[in-house]
Amino acid sequence: MDSEKALELVKHGSTLLLLGVPQYTLIGIDTQVFYAGPEFKGVKMIPPGIHFVFYSSSNKDGKEFSPIVGFFIETSPSEVIVRKWDLQEERLIKVSEEEEERYAEAVKRFEFDRHLGPYSLSDYGDWKYLSSWITKGVIEHIEPIGGEITVTCESSLVGNTPKTTTEKALADQLKNSKFGGEIESSEKKGCYYTPIPRVIKQKGISGAELTSVNLDKSYILENILMKEYDGVEDRLLGELQFAFIAFLMGQSLDGFLQWKSLVSLLLGCTEAPFHTRTQLFVKFIRCVYHQLKYGFQRDHKRNSGTEKEPSFFLDDSWFSSDSFLHHLCKEFFLLVDEASVVDGDLLTWTRKLKGLLENTLGWEFSRKRAVDGIYFEDDDEYAPVVEMVDEPY
């Protein structure tokens, strides 16, 4: 870009000043990853709004990394946020208000400008898709005490035997690292995610009713929305995005488990998508579409240009047709395909998600269906045509 436009972005964008960061430390903001060189002191030209900052310290030759630590921030135009490296704790800490004001004035005088890496605006679109429902209120409700998200403080790993491929990969990474001992000594707590029940146990209703409630999770969804989110659907979507970002950028196992719980809850509903919560499901499917689209591309979009960084993964279990996601999506896609009346936006985004999974992972969702006692494949050219009608508003 021309120098005049760049100067305008420097003046009105936010600045993240990171002082004393050791060389080779991995530093990330949103979807962008850097390595700290000897002159690195932060990032400039950051668009105002919600951002996720994460880092991982390394040994002296930059070949072994500690578990990632991440935290959410909200920036205002021209704001300067300052963090300083604590040598004893090997982490970034806040500075006093007086120090922050002094450093902010120095930033505005461009004293740090040559030490600041520019925020890549070409990658900002991806970040907006991933964080569009996250607000300051969502962050304050979920984030741990102190704001730092790290797998070493999470109950899902401490004292438990890993079960899934993802859990085992994280556990092995920590076990083989010189930083693994941090798990035992940590007194911090993880994020305050909303509890999502897998099954409902309720007295006073018949066995048939209880079975129905657990087969169609619409009742569970409605109960959680009213009890935990005060009926505000966007807060649930914000938590879904918070958990995914904590997992993908911050390597948080708790983040993955919460994301999985929310996705399983919504894809397990059969009544709500078509009658009571249609617009929530339109936004939900669109949200998951962008999460998976970015996640599957991530290995090809790294900015660091090095193979030494700690692994970011959607691990191999995501690509298996035996994964939880494949089974849930197959049932949900069939549900939408066979519905007599479907909202146009819900149908569009469901088909986009289905196409993404088919084209990216090679998954097949074809399933036989009966019409007048005759079975047809979903893609059978001789099968009767089911006409979808947009639901009136």
| Residue 384, pLDDT score | 42
H helices present in the chain, as ranges: 3-12, 97-108, 124-131, 136-142, 165-175, 182-185, 207-215, 218-228, 233-248, 253-267, 278-297, 324-338, 344-361
Nearest to 264 by CA among 319, 220, 213: 220
Q: Please state, in angstroms and rounded to a whole number, the distance separating the CA atoms of residues 147 and 191.
A: 9
Structure tokens at 303: 């900015």
**Collapsed DSSP state (helix, strand, coil) of residue 28:** strand
What's the pLDDT band for 388 if we cut at 50, 70, 90?
A: very low
| Residue 308, pLDDT score | 43
| From the candidate CATH numbers 3.40.190.10, 3.30.420.40, 2.60.34.20, 3.40.640.10, the one assigned to the domain spanning 3-120 | 2.60.34.20
Say whether pLDDT at 376 is over 80.
Answer: no
What's the pLDDT band for 324 if we cut at 50, 70, 90?
A: confident
* Cα angle, residue 95 at apex, residues 89 and 100 outer, rounded to 5°: 155
Nearest to 118 by CA among 43, 51, 50: 43
Q: Please state, in angstroms and rounded to a whole number, the distance separating the CA atoms of residues 364 and 357.
A: 8
Q: Please state, in angstroms and rounded to a whole number, the distance separating the CA atoms of residues 18 and 16.
A: 6
Strand 69-75 vs strand 369-371: parallel, antiparallel, or unpaired? Answer: unpaired
* Cα angle, residue 339 at apex, residues 229 and 393 outer, rounded to 5°: 60
Q: Return the minimum-mean-pLDDT range out of 18-22, 206-210, 223-227, 242-246.
A: 206-210
Say whether pLDDT at 351 is over 50.
Answer: yes
Could you report the per-residue pLDDT of 220-232, keeping only the tens digit for each? 999 999 999 999 9
Say whether pLDDT at 383 is over 50.
Answer: no
What's the pLDDT band for 348 if we cut at 50, 70, 90?
A: very high
CA dihedral 132, 292, 358, 347 (to 10 degrees): -20
Please say whether the beta carbons of 124 and 43 come within 8 A.
no
Burial class (CB in 10 A: 0-12, 13-18, 19+), 361: middle
Q: Please state, in angstroms and rounded to a whole number, the distance separating the CA atoms of residues 83 and 39.
A: 16
Q: Please state, in angstroms and rounded to a whole number, the distance separating the CA atoms of residues 125 and 295.
A: 14
Q: What is the mean pLDDT of the chain?
A: 80
More confident residue, 15 or 368: 15
Share of residues in the chain with pLDDT > 70 (%): 70
Say whether pLDDT at 254 is over 60.
Answer: yes
| Residue 70, pLDDT score | 95
Q: Which of 117-126, 205-214, 233-242 has the highest mean pLDDT?
A: 233-242
The answer to pTM > 0.85 is: no
Q: Please state, in angstroms and rounded to a whole number, the distance separating the CA atoms of residues 151 and 236.
A: 22
Say whether pLDDT at 387 is over 50.
Answer: no
Q: Return the minimum-mean-pLDDT range out of 87-101, 271-285, 307-321.
A: 307-321
Could you report the per-residue pLDDT of 106-158, keeping only the tens digit for each? 999 999 999 999 999 888 999 999 999 999 999 999 999 999 999 887 766 54
Say whether pLDDT at 259 is over 60.
Answer: yes
Nearest to 325 by CA among 360, 301, 299: 360
More confident residue, 12 or 242: 242
More confident residue, 55 or 361: 55
What's the pLDDT band for 373 if we cut at 50, 70, 90?
A: very low
Nearest to 170 by CA among 30, 24, 320, 315: 315
Q: Please state, in angstroms and rounded to a whole number, the distance separating the CA atoms of residues 28 and 26.
A: 7
Q: Return the minimum-mean-pLDDT range out of 68-82, 187-201, 238-252, 261-275.
A: 187-201
Say whether pLDDT at 339 is over 50.
Answer: yes
Name, in order, each residue with C-beta under 8 angstroms of 36's C-beta and a sequence gap of 6 or more. Answer: 18, 21, 22, 23, 24, 25, 26, 27
More confident residue, 298 or 174: 298
DSSP-based helix, strand, coil % in the chain, nearest 5: 45, 15, 40
Q: Return the minimum-mean-pLDDT range out of 85-99, 158-172, 316-330.
A: 158-172
Name, in order, each residue with C-beta under 8 angstroms of 5's C-beta and a sequence gap of 6 or more. Answer: none
Q: Please state, in angstroms and rounded to a whole number, the distance separating the CA atoms of residues 340 and 348.
A: 15
Q: Please state, in angstroms and rounded to a whole number, the distance separating the CA atoms of residues 323 and 376.
A: 26
Q: Please state, in angstroms and rounded to a whole number, the distance separating the CA atoms of residues 357 and 365.
A: 9
